[in-house]
Structure 1
Amino acid sequence: MRLILKIVAGILLGMVIGSFAPGMGAEWLVRLMVTVQTMINELIVFVIPLIVFFFITSGISSLPDQAGKMLGKTVGISYFSTVLAVSMAFWIASPLIPSLVGQELPPVPAGQRAFAPFLTLEIPPLMGVMTALALSFVFGLSIQKLKLVSIKSFADEGKSVVELFLGSVVIPLLPFYIAGEFAKLAAEGQAVRMLGTFFSVLCLAVCLHFLWLSVLYTLAGIKSGKPPWKILATMFPAYLTALGTMSSAATIPVTLRQAKKAGVPPHVADFTIPLCANIHLSGSAITISTCSLALMFLTNHHVPASFDAFLPFILVLGIVMVAAPGAPGGAVLSALGILQSMLHFSDAQCALMIALYIAQDSFGTACNVTGDGALSILVSPKNERAKQ
C-alpha cells in the first residue's frame, strides 16, 4: 500500500512541476525529471528478459515430476483460466472503452517545446523477450528431465538476483519514473485528461475481476455440487487478505485454510494453492489487457480491429504471467516486453501502464488468489472431495 501512495505522490508531483515550471522559465526542471525517467526506463528494459528467463526457467524446473496428472491438470487449467479471462475482458471492454475514454488525446501543438532528456544512457538487454521466453522453456524442461542440479542452481540463484534488483532498485524507483512521465504530460496539457481516463478504466477492470470470479465459482459449484455463492463466501477472507498484502505468496496461508474449509481435499489444496499462487494470475492479466486496450484507443495506437488480431498477445500473456515476480507490480513489469514487441508500445505508454496497473494491484492480486480456490475445486477428483 505504501507503493500505491508513492505512485500517487509521484503523479501529483509530476503534474505540479509540469503545469507550472514551463511558465516560470524552469523548463530545465521538466527536462531533468524526463532525464531521470529515461534512465530508469533503460534499467527496466534491460531487466525484462532476465525476469522472463530466470523466473520461467526456475518455475518449470521446480515443478514436482512425481505429481504427474495433477500437475498437468493444474497448470493447464491455470493457463486456460488466464487466457479465457483475458478473452472475456476483450469482448466486454472493447465496445465499452470508446465511451469511457472519449476522444483520443489531441496531438501536441507543432510549436510546443520538446522536453527531451539532457542525456541518455543506452543499456541494451542481453536478449529479446521472445528469445528469453523460448530459451526458458528449453532450459526449464531440460533441467527437470535430466536433473541438472548445477544449472538449476544457477537458474534459482539468478531468480534471486533479479528479485533483489527489482525489490531494491527498480520498484523503489517507479514513483520517480511515473513522476517524469506525468511532468511531461502536464507540460503538454494532457495529464488531466489522462487521470480522468485512469479512474474509468480501473473501475471497469475491477468489475471484470468479479465477473470472472463468478464464472470460476459457477464452474466450481457445478463440479462440487455446492452453491457457488457459498464457496465464494468461504474464500472471501483470502480476497480481503490479498487486498492488504498485494502478494499472492504472502496470502497462501489464508488461501490454503479457506480452500480446505470450502471442501478441497487437504492433499489437493497443499499442492494446488502454492502452485497456483505462482502461475494463476487471471486478475492481473485482465487488468493488463483492459488497460492496454484503453491506452491504445486513447493514443490512437494500432487498436486491434478484431479478436483475431489480439489473440496472439493473449496467448503469450498467459505464458508470461508465469514469470511474474511476487513483488507489487511484478506482473506488469513481466508483461512490458510483449507490450513493446507485440503491441508496439512506446516507453511513454509503458510508464502509463505501470501507473495504471499498480493503482489497482491489490484488486488484481485479490482476484488471483480467490480464483485459486475455484481452480483447486476443479482439479479435485469428484470422489475425493473433503467432508465439511
Structure 2
Amino acid sequence: MSETKKVGILKSYRFPLILLLSIIIGSLIGISMGEDAAVLQPLGDLFLNLMFTIVVPLVFFSLSAVVANMQNLKRLGSIMGSMMLVFIVTGIIASMVMIVAVTMVPPSEGTTIELTQPEEVEELSLGAQVVKAVSVPDFVDLFSRRNMLALIVFSVLFGLATNLVGEKGRPVATFLASASEVMGKLVKLVMYYAPIGLAAYFAALVGVFGPELLGSYARAMIVYYPVTVLYFFIGFTIYAYIAGGKKGISRFWKNIAAPAITSLGTCSSVATIPTNVDAARKIGVPKDVRDVVIPMGAQIHMDGSALGAILKISFLFGIFNMNFSGIETFLYAIVISIAAGTVMSGVPGGGFIAEMFIVTIYGFPMEALPILAVLGTLIDPPATMVNATGDTVSSMAVTRLVEGKEWIESDIEESNQLTA
C-alpha cells in the first residue's frame, strides 16, 4: 500500500479514532475518580443538549432537499416505487437476520444499569404504535424530536411537493439545499466538541456504574462483525442472483471491490457514490436507474445500519433489564431500524442522529445516547461497507423490476446509453 493511500485511510478514520481515544481517556478517569467523576457529567450534558437541539431541523432540511432537488423525473414513479420496495425488503431481511443473532447471543447479557426508566409506558397495539410513530395530530408537534418518524414522512412529502411544483418551486428547493448545507456545517462545528463531551460522559458513567459496562461492547462486536461479513458475502450474492442470475453474481463481484474499499476507507456512503455509480455502469444498470437509486440509497438505504440498529436496540433493552422478545417487539424494532437508517448516512454525525432517534422513540433516558454512540463508532466501518455496496446490488434489483428479467442479457453500452 502506498504512503498516499495510508495517509488517506488514516485521515478517514482520524475522527473515529479520536472519539475512541477520548472515550478510553474518559473511562480511565472514571475508574480513577470513582463516583467523584459525576462532577464531569455537565460537560457531557452540554454535548447531548446541542445534538438534540440540532436534530429536528437537520433531518427536515436534509431529507426535503434530497427529494426536492431530484433532476431526472422520467420513469421516476416506476423507479421510485421499485426502489422503495427493494430498500424496504432488504432492510427487513437485514433486521431479521440480526434479530436471530441477538436472540441467540444477547449482546449485553449480564450487564444492568439502573438509570431513570420512562415515566409513562402506554400500552398500544402494533397498528396504533405505527400510526403514532408516523403521524402527529398537530403541525407544531413535528418540531419535537420525540416525533422523528413523523418528521421524516413530512420531510419527504414536502420535498416531493416542492419538486412537483416545477419552476415555481425552484426557489424553495434551492433554499432547502442551502439550509441542508448550513445544518451539516453546524453539526460539524458541534462535533468538534464531541471528544470532550463523550470523555466527560464516560468518565461519569464508568465512575458511577463501574467498568462492567465496557465488557458489553466486546460481546456486541463479537455478534455484529461476523453477522455483517456473512450478510455481505451471502446476502448480496443472493440479491445479485435474484436481480440477474449467474451473470448478475459475476458482474456484481467483479465490480464491487472499489465501492467496498472506498466505503471502508472513508466511512461514508456519500463519499462512495462516485465509485458506486461507476460500478453500476460497468454492471449494466441504466443511467436513470443508477442516478436515482444510488444517491437516494446513500441517504435512506442502510442494510448495515439496520443490522446495527437492531443490535443497538437489543443492547439497550439488555442494559435496562428489559425483555427483548415477542412478535410485536420484533416487528416494532424492525420498523424502527429501517426508519433509523433513513437518517444515518450522508449527514455529518448521522450515527448520533439515528441513535437519538432510537433513544427518543423508545423513551430511554438521554444517558443512553453516549452508550449507543460508542457502539455505533465501533461498528461503523463494516456497517458503512454494507450500506454503500448494498446500494449497488439494489440498483441491479430495481433494474430487474423496471426493465424485466432480460436486462442483464442486453449489451452494457446500450444499457448505459438508453437514457443518457
TM-score range, shorter chain: 0.7 to 0.9
Could you tell me which runs of 5 or more consecutive residues in structure 2 were left unpaired when the two chains were aligned. Answer: 1-12, 116-141, 413-420
- Residue 51 (structure 2) aligns with: 44
Identical-residue share of aligned pairs (%): 22
| The 10-residue stretch of structure 1 (321-330 or 156-165) with the greater mean CA deviation from structure 2 | 321-330
**Match for residue 384 of structure 1 among 403, 407, 419:** 407
Aligned to 1:65: 73
Q: Does structure 1 conserve the Cα–Cα contact (< 8 Å) formed by 2:87 and 2:394?
A: yes
Of 31, 52, 55, the match for 1:19: 31
1:66 Cα deviation after fit: 2.5
1:170-190 deviations in Å (ceiling 9; x for gaps): x22222222122211221242
Distance 1:179 1:86 in 2: 31
Q: Which residue identity lines up with residue 317 of structure 2 in the other structure?
A: M
- Measure, in 2, the Cα distance between the counterparts of 1:267 and 1:65: 9
CA contact (8 A) 1:313 1:342 kept: no
Residue 157 of structure 1: how far off its partner (Å): 2.0
Is it true that 1:186 corresponds to 2:206 in the alignment? Answer: yes
Note closer, same or farther for the CA distance 1:137–1:371 as it changes in structure 2 (3 Å cut). Answer: closer
Asked whether the 8 Å contact 1:220–1:378 carries over to 2, the reply is: yes
The answer on whether the counterparts of 1:11 and 1:178 sit within 8 Å (CA) in structure 2 is yes
Contact map agreement 1:313 1:338 (CA 8 A) in 2: no
Deviation readout 1:240-267 (Å, 9 max, x if unpaired): 2111101111112222223333343455
Out of 258, 282, 292, the position equivalent to 1:237 is: 258
Pick the aligned partner of 2:312 from 286, 291, 303.
Answer: 291
Q: Distance in 2 between matches of 1:336 and 1:59?
A: 21
Residue 311, structure 1, aligned to residue 353, structure 2: no
**TM-score between the two structures when normalised by the length of structure 2:** 0.78
Native 8 Å contact 2:294 2:395 kept in 1? yes
> Are the aligned partners of 1:247 and 1:326 in contact in 2 as well (CA < 8 Å)?
yes
Q: Deviations over 1:60-115 (max 9, x none)?
A: 22334323212321233123322331132113322311xx533133659xxxxxxx
Q: Corresponding residue for 2:6?
A: none
Contact persistence 2:188–2:348 (CA under 8 A): no
Output aligned runs, 1:1-388, within 5 Å: 1-22=13-34, 27=36, 30-63=37-70, 64-68=72-76, 69-97=78-106, 100-105=107-112, 126-128=143-145, 129-130=147-148, 131-147=150-166, 148-169=169-190, 171-191=191-211, 193-213=212-232, 214-226=234-246, 228=249, 231-300=252-321, 302-327=322-347, 329-330=349-350, 332-380=351-399, 381=403, 382-385=405-408, 387=411
Q: C-alpha deviations, 1:283-341, integer Å up to 9, x for none?
A: 022112212212321331x33331322323422442343333524541x3232343233
- Pick closer, same or farther for the CA change 1:66–1:323 going to 2, 3 Å: farther
Q: State the distance in 1 between where 2:198 and 2:332 align.
A: 29
Q: Is the 8 A contact 1:217 1:229 kept in 2?
A: no
Deviations 1:160-179 (A, max 9, x none): 1210111122x222222221
* AA matched with 2:55: I
Task: Write the distance in 1 (CA, Å) between the matches of 2:338 and 2:237.
Answer: 20
In the alignment, the residues of structure 2 paired with residue 323 and residue 237 of structure 1 have an alpha-carbon distance, to the nearest angstrom, of: 25
Superposition RMSD on alpha carbons, in Å?
2.7
Instruction: Note if contact 1:51-1:334 (Cα within 8 Å) is conserved in structure 2.
Output: no
CA distance in 1, matches of 2:227, 2:16: 21
Normalised to the residue count of structure 1, the TM-score between the two structures is: 0.84
Count of aligned pairs between the two proteins = 362
| CA deviation profile, 1:209-246 (whole Å, cap 9, x unmatched) | 23333223213213312263763353123112111101
Pair 1:198–1:320, CA change in 2 (3 A): closer
Amino acid at match of 2:103: S
Question: SS of 1:324's equivalent?
Answer: coil
Q: Which segments of 5 or more consecutive residues in structure 1 lack a partner in the other structure?
A: 109-124
